Amino acid sequence: MTARLKVACRTETGPERRVNEDSFLFDADLQLLVVCDGMGGVCNGRPAAKVAMWTICEVLAKSSGEPSGHDLVRAMREAHQRIRRIEPLLPGVGVTATCLQLHENRDGLRLHVAQVGDTRLAKLTDAGLVTLTREHTVKGELMATGQPIPPEKRELFARLVTRALGSVPECCEIDVDTFEIAVGDRFVLTTDGAHRHVSPAAIVAHCQHHRQDMALAVSGIVEDAIKAEADDNVTACVFEVVNEGASTGVASMHPPNVSWLYAPQGPLQPVPAHWLAAGEPMARFQAFYAAVMDEAYRR
């Protein structure tokens, strides 16, 4: 590959939340960026987002042949299955996920994108931000069908997610698309805690002002959301298609050692019965949380 992604990301808990349920990972070898937003709080969304993120990366690392949108969908469906396995430990859990992968062949450069939820991918252009993904919220669904939205309901409808991995037994529909891109193209990826509180104009201004330092642009977006008293976790990523040699990973994959979850092959096993036995359910959860998060659970 002669082109690479140069990526900068930052995630913060935000002023209104107690824990950060957002997770991101960039794998430089795979040229893969994944952003997951867990739903359900410290006991649910936080570890589930990690499981989804690692699963997507793991499945794609084992893929053979040229990257494709189909591979991204397959990886997200596997993440859904694993989240369903941990649902007995994390009741009502759900995860939104956006993953994208750079692919280059003799026909040019392409960006494969798969999306479930309300994280937003946009391309920076001379005219401003051009949104590339559709947000799976009540507001987004109504806008897609041209239905009117009562002004007093816009904020509420923007927060109600209509699709999430693991939230129901059957995997939801996953949006997938492929975009033709070129060296020099820049993109912004934000969770709803960022783009609901920072205007497109402000995002563009940060990216233009810090053209040579994407980390500063990302920090500007995140800090703006925090100053606006964001009511959710805040995550922003800015990335650019560059010539070979400028790509570095911004997070590492360290899947937890939970044998019943990360089966080496074949169908995944259900949660062990003794984990669900009466007596010490909290202790079982704490063991799972520590394995996934690499830290002790704190109420």
> What Å distances lie between residue 296 and 137, 257, 261, 285, 290, CA to CA?
33, 15, 19, 11, 5
Residue written as token pair 């949108």: 69
Cβ–Cβ < 8 Å for 95, 83: yes
| Cβ proximity of 190 and 236 under 8 Å | yes
Which pair of structure tokens corresponds to residue 110?
Answer: 């392409």
Residue-range domain boundaries for the chain: 3-272
Tens digit of each residue's pLDDT, the chain (299 residues): 589 999 999 999 999 988 899 999 999 889 999 999 998 765 678 888 999 998 999 899 988 888 999 999 999 999 999 888 888 778 788 999 999 999 998 889 999 999 999 999 999 999 999 999 999 988 888 888 888 888 888 878 877 889 999 988 889 999 999 999 999 999 999 999 999 999 999 999 999 999 999 999 999 999 999 999 999 999 999 999 998 765 555 554 566 666 667 655 555 566 667 666 655 567 777 877 887 887 887 76
Domain 3-272 in CATH: superfamily?
A: PPM-type phosphatase domain (3.60.40.10)
What letter represents residue 266's amino acid? G
Per residue in 3-16, pLDDT (tens digit) is 999 999 999 999 99
d(CA 203, CA 197): 11
Question: Residues 61, 63, 69, CA angle at the centre, nearest 5°?
Answer: 100
pTM of the model: 0.89
Report the 3 state secondary structure along the chain: CCEEEEEEEEEECCCCCCCCCEEEEEECCCCEEEEEEEECCCCCHHHHHHHHHHHHHHHHHCCCCCCCHHHHHHHHHHHHHHHHHHCCCCCCCEEEEEEEEEEEECCEEEEEEEEECCCEEEEEECCEEEECCCCCEHHHHHHHCCCCCCHHHHHHHHHCECCCECCCCCCCCCEEEEEEECCCCEEEEECHHHHCCCCHHHHHHHHHHCCCCHHHHHHHHHHHHHHCCCCCCEEEEEEEEEECCCCCCCCCCCCCCCCCCCCCCCCCCCCCHHHCCCCCHHHHHHHHHHHHHCCCCCC
